[in-house]
C-alpha cells in the first residue's frame, strides 16, 4: 500500500473542459483527489492548476507518471508542469555570508521536521557561520569571492551543487550577486530574500535608504533569482510598521525577523509545490 | 473658566535641560501638563517635543501665548514651533478629481464630529463630484485644467484659498500635479495621498505598475506635498496583501479602502498637532 | 445580447466527478466559465463551489435557470445552492442607533457605485441619524424600543422589511439584540458588526473590557446573526495594534475605522456572492 | 572609561515636576541622557518613565546607584523602579515540553549575539528536546511531571533555578501549569507564550477551539505568568489571517511562526528593560 500523494502543478492556454478532462483521467486511474486549486488568468487566457491526489490504489506506477500525464493530457494541451510525489525529499543548499538569522531559522525548521527536505550543504563567501553549520551537522564550504576570482568561485560552486545533487538553492542573505552565467547554467530554482518591499529600495543598503527616505514601514521580499538583480518573480512579501524613533540599527533588527519569516514562508510554499512562476510573476496556491 | 488645552509642537538643537526648562515654565504659569512626548534624534542632535496642558487657570492669556513662549524659551534655544489651542477650528479645503471615496470619508468624519475642523470648500478640475459636495452642503468649485490654462487655474485656486481663509489643503485623489510656484506661494500644509507604498511606484498608474511587477502587497502613502513629486515627507503608510488572482480592477478596489483610511489617519494626526515635518521626514507622536 | 453573468454558490456531499459534471453541463449549454473556485472540506466530506459564467449565448433563459440546475445537477447530488445573475440589484436595509461611521461608509459606497445594491430603508431605534439618511435621500424610520415595546417594535420592523422588499439586513452598530423570533421570521441574511475580535469580549462594552484586560490589539468581527448573540458564522475579522497609551476613548476612535472597513468588506463579499454559511462557519471565496 | 549605560524604569503617583526633578539629578551627576520616554496614566494619576543615560564620566559608581537614586528621588516620590546597567548579562532559563520552534528561535538569537543574555539551563517535563539543547551546548534537565509528583517536581525546579542563579524564566510552549506556590516562591519574572489572541481561547487546545468557532484570524499572546492561568499582564500580541481552507494542522503550522516571533519580541523588550508591569497591565516603551 502506498501512503503518499501526487502533486501536479501546471499551466497551459485556457480552453473549455480542462478541469473536467484532467479530473476525469485521474479518477479513471483510481486517484482520489484531495486538493484542487485552479485559476484562469483571463487577461492572458492562461489556465493554472494544482491538484493533489492519493496514490493508494492508483493504477499508474510512480515511474510512469510523467509518461501517463504527457500522453493523456499534457501534450495535447501544451502544458508546462511539474509532478512530484509527497515522499520525495528534495536536496537544498543554503548560501550565506555573515548574518545567521535566516540560516538558523531554516536549519531549525528542517531539524524539527517542519520541512520535508534535506540540507546537505551550506556555501559561504566568508568563514563566519561555520559554527552554525556545525551545530546542525551540515557540511560548510567557504569559497571567498574577489572581483578577480568571481568566475572561478562560481565554477567551483556549480561543481559543488552538482556533486551534492542539489535541487534548490536558497540565498539566505548571501551578499554576492550571482552572475548571469551562473543563473543560466544552474538548472534548478534559486530563491533570494531581499530586505525591502521591492521594487522600493533595490540594490545595496535598503535599510539605510529606507531611513533616509523616512518611510513608515519596512519590508522584505522573497523572489526567484533571474539575471536581472532584484527583479525576479516575487513569491512572498511582508512589511512591519516603523516610527521616526527607529534608527538604522533598529530597522536592521526589526527587519531581520521579517526577513527570516518571509524567506521561510516562501521556501515552505515551494516545498509544498504551491508556487508556479510564469513570465515575471508567480501564482501561489494557498 | 477655560475648558480648552494648549498644544505645543517644537524642535530645536538638543542640549541638557530642555524638558526640565519647558515643563518648569508651564508649571510656573499654572499649567497642568496632560501629555508630554519628547524624542531626541541623536544622529542629528535634534530635540522634538509635543506637550499639551490644561489652560484652566493658566496665567498667560491666549493672545499672549506666543510672546510668552518665545521670550521665556523659544528664542534662547532656537526653537521652531507651532502653538495651538484645542478650541480652534482650522479651515480645510479638499481637492478632488473624479473618485469620491476619500472625499466621502473625510466629509463623513467632519459631519459626524469626529474631526474638529471646518470644510468650507471643495476644488475640482472635473464637475463629477459636485453632487457629493452638495449632499454635505459644501461649496464646490470646478476649475478645469488644460496644459495651457494651468497657470491661470492655479492663480484662481490660490485666490479661492485666500478668500475662504483655508489653513490646510488635502489632495484627495486630485489628479493634477501642483506646480512649484503654487507650493511656494501657498503658505500652509498641503497633504496628498499616493496610491502606492512609496518610494515604489512613483508617478502615474501605480496599480498597473504593481500588477505588472507581480508584487504581493499594495500600499498607500500620505505625505506632505513639496516641489518634488511624490517625494515629500511621509506621514502615514499602510499595505494590504494581494494575490495573483487580483486583476488591476481588484487592486483599484482594494486600494481605495487603504487610500481613504491612510489619508484620514494622516489628517487626523495633523489635526491633533501630532505631526512635525523636518527635512524630508516626519516625527509623528502617538 | 446579454452582458451579464450567472453566479452559482453551492455545497453538497463530496463525491468524485462533481467539478467535471457541473462544468460539463455549463459548457453544454454554451456557458463560458469566467471564475471557478472549489474547495473540499475533507473532515466533513463536503464539497463547496462558486462558479461564474458568461450568459451571452447561454441556451437556458434566465427564468429557467433554477429548474435547469436542479434537474441536471442539484437534485441528484443533494445540493444547497444560490444562483444569481449579475444584473440583479438586491435591496438592503441598514439598522442603526446613534453612531454614524458605518452608515456613512455604506451609503457612500452605494452612492459611488462601488456596490450593486439598492438601499431604500434605514431603521433606527433613535432619531439621531435621520439627517445622515436625508443627505443620501434614503427613507429613515425611527422605531424606538423599550423592554415593553420590543415585541411590537419588531413586528413593525418586519412589516417594513416586507413592505420594502428587503433582501438583506445590515446591523451597522444597531444597539439592540434582535429576538429569536425576529431571526426566525425574517427569511433573509442579517449581518452584524461586533466591535471586538470574537470570541473575545462578547456582549456589551468590548472596548472597556479590552482596556481593562490590557490587550495589545483590538478587533472587529462581522458575522451573520443567529439566535445566539455574537455567535453566528464569522465572515470577516481584523485587528489593529494598540498601546498602553490608548485610553478607552482612543480605542473607540481607532476601533471605528476598523468596524466600518470590516463590515463593508463583509457586505462586499456577500454582494459578490462569495460567502457560503454552513453550520457555524463560513466559506469565503476570494 | 565606562562605555555602558544605565537604564531606569519606574512608576510612581504623578505630580508636577517629576521629569524636571529626575533629569535634573542625572545631569547634576554628569549623566548624558540618551533616551527618555515618559507617560502619564491620567485615569489612575500614575507616572511612568524609562530613561537611559551614558555612564561615561557619571559621578556615582555602579555599586552606589540604587542608594543615590533612592535618596535623591525614589523615596520621596514613592517610586517603584528597576535600575540596570547595559553591560549586565541576565541569566535566563527556558522551559519546554515537546515543541522546538520557540526554543530554537531563542537559542539562535542568543547564539547570534542578538540578545545580551546567558541561557545556562533548559528545563523540560519530556526528554524530546534534549538534542536541541545539546546543539547549542546548554544544560538540559528533564523533570517529568505526574499529578502525584507535581509538587516535588516544582521543588526540584526551584532548586535548579536557584542553583543556576536564574533571573528570568521563559515558558516556550511548556505544557504544564505552574502552581500558585511556584509563582509565589520564584522571585523573578516568568514569561509565557499562549497560542491564541487572549482573552479568546484561554486554556487547552486553542487552535482546535479557533477552528471550531470558525474565526478568520488566529493569534499568539506573550504575558507574564501570575497565579491566574492565561490572565497575567500581556506584553505582546499578534495575529495572522486564516481562511476556511485552514485545517487544524495548518493552523498549528501558521501559529508556530506567530508564537515564536511574539514570544521573542516580548523577551527582547524585557531584556531592553522596556516593559513595566503594574496591576494586570503592562507599559511597553518603544
What is d(CA A227, CA A180) in angstroms, rounded to the nearest whole number?
5
Task: State residue C1's pLDDT score.
Answer: 43
- In this prediction, residue A1 has a pLDDT band, given cuts at 50, 70 and 90, of very low
What is d(CA C206, CA C174) in angstroms, rounded to the nearest whole number?
15
Identify the architecture of domain C5-85 in CATH.
2-Layer Sandwich (3.30)
Select the residue of C19, C27, C34 nearest A42 (Cβ to Cβ): C34
What is d(CA A155, CA A153) in angstroms, rounded to the nearest whole number?
5
One of B37, B54, B180, B230 is an active-site residue; which one? B230
Query: Which residues does A130 contact at the CB level (< 8 Å), separation at least 6?
Result: A124, A140, A142
Select the residue of C20, C33, C36 nearest A24 (Cβ to Cβ): C20
What does the pLDDT average to over B212-238? 94
Which pLDDT tens digit goes with each residue over D63-77? 999 999 999 999 999
**Do the strands D91-96 and B139-142 form a parallel or antiparallel pair, or are they unpaired?**
unpaired
Q: Do A19 and C24 touch (CB under 8 A)?
A: no
CB D11 within 8 A of CB D48: yes
Select the residue of A20, A33, A241 nearest C23 (Cβ to Cβ): A20
CB C258 within 8 A of CB C241: no
Task: State residue C282's pLDDT score.
Answer: 97
CB A2 within 8 A of CB A55: yes
Q: Max CA-CA distance within chain D?
A: 63
Q: Max CA-CA distance within chain A?
A: 63
Judge whether residue D78 has pLDDT over 70: yes
Q: Do C286 and B261 touch (CB under 8 A)?
A: no
What does the pLDDT average to over B25-53? 90
Give, to the nearest 10 degrees, the angle between helix A248-271 and helix A206-213: 120
The residue count of chain A comes to 286
Task: State residue D2's pLDDT score.
Answer: 57
Interfacial C residues in 178-237 facing D (CB < 8 Å): 197-201, 213-217, 219, 233-237
| B–C CB contacts, 8 A cutoff, strictly below | 47
DSSP class of residue D39 equals E
C121: left (phi over 0), alpha (psi -120 to 50) or beta: beta
A-chain residues within 8 Å CB-CB of D253? 114
Higher pLDDT among residues D209 and D227, named by residue: D209
Task: State residue D18's pLDDT score.
Answer: 87
Query: In sequence order, what DSSP letters do the residues of C102-143 get, joined into one string?
Result: HHHHHHHHHHTTSS--EEEEEEESSSTTHHHHHHTT-EEEE-
- In this prediction, residue B231 has a pLDDT band, given cuts at 50, 70 and 90, of confident
In sequence order, the β-bridge partners of residue D13 are D46
Judge whether residue A257 has pLDDT over 80: yes
Is B181 catalytic? The answer is no
Residue-averaged pLDDT of chain D:
94
Query: Which residues does B129 contact at the CB level (< 8 Å), separation at least 6?
Result: B96, B97, B98, B100, B103, B122, B140
Name the residue with cell 488644460. Answer: B146
Task: State residue D229's pLDDT score.
Answer: 73
Select the residue of D20, D24, D34 nearest B42 (Cβ to Cβ): D34
What is d(CA D174, CA D178) in angstroms, rounded to the nearest whole number?
10
Q: Do A215 and B238 touch (CB under 8 A)?
A: no
Give the active site residues of C: 230
The kind and range of the H/E element at A102 are: helix A101-111
Q: Do C40 and A38 touch (CB under 8 A)?
A: no
Which pLDDT tens digit goes with each residue over D132-147? 999 999 999 999 999 8
Which pLDDT tens digit goes with each residue over C22-60? 988 998 999 988 888 889 898 899 999 999 999 998 999
Query: Which residues does B43 contact at the CB level (< 8 Å), separation at least 6?
Result: A247
Q: Do B105 and C100 touch (CB under 8 A)?
A: no
Q: Do C34 and A17 touch (CB under 8 A)?
A: no
CB A34 within 8 A of CB C42: yes
Residue-averaged pLDDT of chain A:
94
Does D246 lie at the interface with C, CB-CB under 8 angstroms?
Answer: no
Sheet with A118-124, edge to edge strand ranges: A139-142, A118-124, A91-96, A168-171, A190-194, A217-224, A234-241
- Return the C-alpha cell found at D25: 539629578
Task: State residue B1's pLDDT score.
Answer: 43
Judge whether residue B2 has pLDDT over 80: no
One of A181, A230, A238, A272 is an active-site residue; which one? A230
What is d(CA B286, CA B278) in angstroms, rounded to the nearest whole number?
17
Phi/psi of residue A176, each to 5°? Answer: -130, 145
User: Closest chain C residue to B112 measured between Cα atoms?
Assistant: C100
What does the pLDDT average to over B13-40? 87
What is d(CA B77, CA B14) in angstroms, rounded to the nearest whole number?
9
Does C94 lie at the interface with D, CB-CB under 8 angstroms?
Answer: no
Judge whether residue B122 has pLDDT over 60: yes
CA distance D184 to chain C (A): 22
What is d(CA D161, CA D189) in angstroms, rounded to the nearest whole number?
12
Which pLDDT tens digit goes with each residue over A181-229? 999 999 999 999 999 999 999 989 999 999 999 999 999 999 999 987 7
Does A3 lie at the interface with B, CB-CB under 8 angstroms?
Answer: no
Q: How far is CA D80 from CA A32, D31, D55, D65, in A?
A: 65, 21, 22, 15
What does the pLDDT average to over A53-58? 92
Q: Do B27 and D16 touch (CB under 8 A)?
A: yes
Interfacial C residues in 145-184 facing B (CB < 8 Å): none
In sequence order, the β-bridge partners of residue D10 are D49, D81
DSSP class of residue A83 equals E
Which pLDDT tens digit goes with each residue over D88-135? 999 999 999 999 999 999 999 999 999 999 999 999 999 999 999 999
Which subunits have 3 or more CB–CB pairs within 8 Å of chain C?
Answer: A, B, D
Task: State residue A227's pLDDT score.
Answer: 82
CA distance D52 to chain C (A): 20
C-chain residues within 8 Å CB-CB of A241? 241
Range C228-251 burial, b when 16+ CB lie within 10 A, else e: eebebbbbbbbbeebebebeeeeb
D5-85 against D91-284: fold identical:
no
**Of D7, D52, D50, D60, nearest in space to D29 by CA:** D60
What is d(CA D166, CA A181) in angstroms, rounded to the nearest whole number?
54
Measured distance between the N- and C-terminal CA atoms of chain A, rounded to whole angstroms: 29
Does B112 lie at the interface with C, CB-CB under 8 angstroms?
Answer: yes
Task: State residue C38's pLDDT score.
Answer: 86
D-chain residues within 8 Å CB-CB of C49? none
Select the residue of A112, A135, A286 nearest D136 (Cβ to Cβ): A135
Question: Please, what is the Cα angle at C123 between C82 and C125, to 5 degrees?
Answer: 135
Which of B212, B214, B218, B284 to mutate to test binding with chain A, by most A CBs within 10 Å of its CB? B214
Which pLDDT tens digit goes with each residue over A80-130? 999 999 999 999 999 999 999 999 999 999 999 999 999 999 999 999 999
- In this prediction, residue D1 has a pLDDT band, given cuts at 50, 70 and 90, of very low
What is d(CA A107, CA A132) in angstroms, rounded to the nearest whole number?
9
**Do the strands A118-124 and A139-142 form a parallel or antiparallel pair, or are they unpaired?**
parallel
Q: Is C228 helix (H, G, I), strand (E, B) or coil?
A: coil
What is d(CA D153, CA B52) in angstroms, rounded to the nearest whole number?
54
Higher pLDDT among residues A227 and B60, named by residue: B60
C-chain residues within 8 Å CB-CB of A24? 17, 20
What does the pLDDT average to over D256-265? 97
What does the pLDDT average to over D235-254? 96
- Return the C-alpha cell found at A231: 527583479
Name the residue with cell 484532467. Answer: A22
In sequence order, the β-bridge partners of residue B73 are none
Task: State residue B38's pLDDT score.
Answer: 87
Judge whether residue B187 has pLDDT over 90: yes
Q: Do C213 and D284 touch (CB under 8 A)?
A: no
Alpha-carbon Rg for chain D in angstroms:
21
Which subunits have 3 or more CB–CB pairs within 8 Å of chain B?
Answer: A, C, D
DSSP class of residue C177 equals P
Residues in chain C, pLDDT under 70? 1-2
Count CA atoms closer than 13 A to A42's CA, side-chain side: 13
What own/partner pairs with CB < 8 Å and gap ≥ 24 does C20-28 have?
Answer: C20/A19, C20/A20, C20/A23, C20/A24, C20/A27, C21/C73, C22/C49, C22/C51, C22/C73, C23/A16, C23/A17, C23/A19, C23/A20, C23/C51, C24/A17, C24/A20, C25/C72, C25/C73, C26/C51, C26/C53, C27/A16, C27/A17, C27/A20
CB D66 within 8 A of CB D83: yes
Select the residue of C19, C27, C35 nearest A23 (Cβ to Cβ): C19
The class (CATH top level) of A91-284 is alpha beta
Task: State residue D3's pLDDT score.
Answer: 81
Q: Do D245 and A104 touch (CB under 8 A)?
A: no
The kind and range of the H/E element at D23 are: helix D18-28
Cβ atoms within 10 A of the Cβ of D283, count? 23
Which pLDDT tens digit goes with each residue over B239-262? 999 999 999 999 999 999 999 999
Q: How far is CA B50 from CA B243, C69, D43, in A?
A: 41, 66, 20
Q: Where are the domains of chain C?
A: 5-85, 91-284
What pTM was computed for the model?
0.96
What is d(CA A257, CA D264) in angstroms, rounded to the nearest whole number?
10
CA distance D75 to chain B (A): 20
CA distance B260 to chain D (A): 22
Which of D41, D47, D196, D199 to mutate to test binding with chain C, by most C CBs within 10 Å of its CB? D199
What is d(CA A252, CA A210) in angstroms, rounded to the nearest whole number?
11
Give the active site residues of D: 230
CA distance C20 to chain A (A): 4
User: Closest chain B residue to C249 measured between Cα atoms?
Assistant: B114
Judge whether residue A2 has pLDDT over 70: no
Task: State residue D19's pLDDT score.
Answer: 83
- In this prediction, residue D33 has a pLDDT band, given cuts at 50, 70 and 90, of confident
Q: Max CA-CA distance within chain B?
A: 63
Amino acid at each position: 500500500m502506498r501512503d503518499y500523494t501526487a502533486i501536479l502543478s501546471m499551466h497551459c492556454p485556457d480552453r473549455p473542459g480542462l478541469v473536467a478532462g484532467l479530473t476525469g483521467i485521474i479518477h479513471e486511474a483510481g486517484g482520489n483527489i484531495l486538493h484542487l486549486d485552479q485559476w484562469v488568468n483571463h487577461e492572458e487566457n492562461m489556465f493554472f492548476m494544482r491538484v493533489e491526489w492519493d496514490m493508494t490504489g492508483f493504477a499508474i506506477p510512480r515511474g510512469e507518471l510523467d509518461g501517463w500525464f504527457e500522453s493523456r493530457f499534457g501534450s495535447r494541451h501544451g502544458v508546462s508542469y511539474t509532478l512530484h510525489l509527497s515522499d520525495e525529499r528534495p536536496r537544498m543548499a543554503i548560501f550565506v555570508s555573515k548574518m545567521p538569522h535566516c540560516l538558523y531559522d531554516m536549519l531549525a525548521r528542517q531539524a524539527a521536521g517542519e520541512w520535508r527536505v534535506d540540507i546537505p550543504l551550506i556555501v559561504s563567501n566568508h568563514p563566519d557561520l561555520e559554527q552554525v553549520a556545525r551545530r546542525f551537522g551540515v557540511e560548510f564550504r567557504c569559497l571567498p569571492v574577489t572581483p578577480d576570482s568571481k568566475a572561478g568561485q562560481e565554477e567551483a560552486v556549480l561543481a559543488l551543487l552538482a556533486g551534492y545533487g542539489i535541487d534548490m538553492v536558497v540565498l539566505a542573505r548571501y551578499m554576492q550577486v550571482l552572475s548571469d552565467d551562473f543563473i543560466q547554467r544552474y538548472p534548478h530554482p534559486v530563491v533570494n530574500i531581499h530586505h525591502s518591499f521591492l521594487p522600493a529600495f533595490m540594490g545595496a543598503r535598503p535599510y539605510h535608504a529606507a531611513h533616509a527616505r523616512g518611510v513608515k514601514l519596512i519590508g522584505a521580499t522573497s523572489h526567484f533569482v533571474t539575471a536581472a538583480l532584484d527583479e525576479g518573480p516575487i513569491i512572498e512579501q511582508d512589511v512591519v510598521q516603523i516610527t521616526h524613533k527607529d534608527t538604522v540599527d533598529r530597522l536592521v533588527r526589526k527587519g531581520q525577523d521579517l526577513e527570516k519569516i518571509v524567506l521561510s514562508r516562501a521556501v515552505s510554499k515551494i516545498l509544498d509545490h504551491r508556487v508556479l512562476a510564469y513570465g515575471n510573476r508567480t501564482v501561489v496556491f494557498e
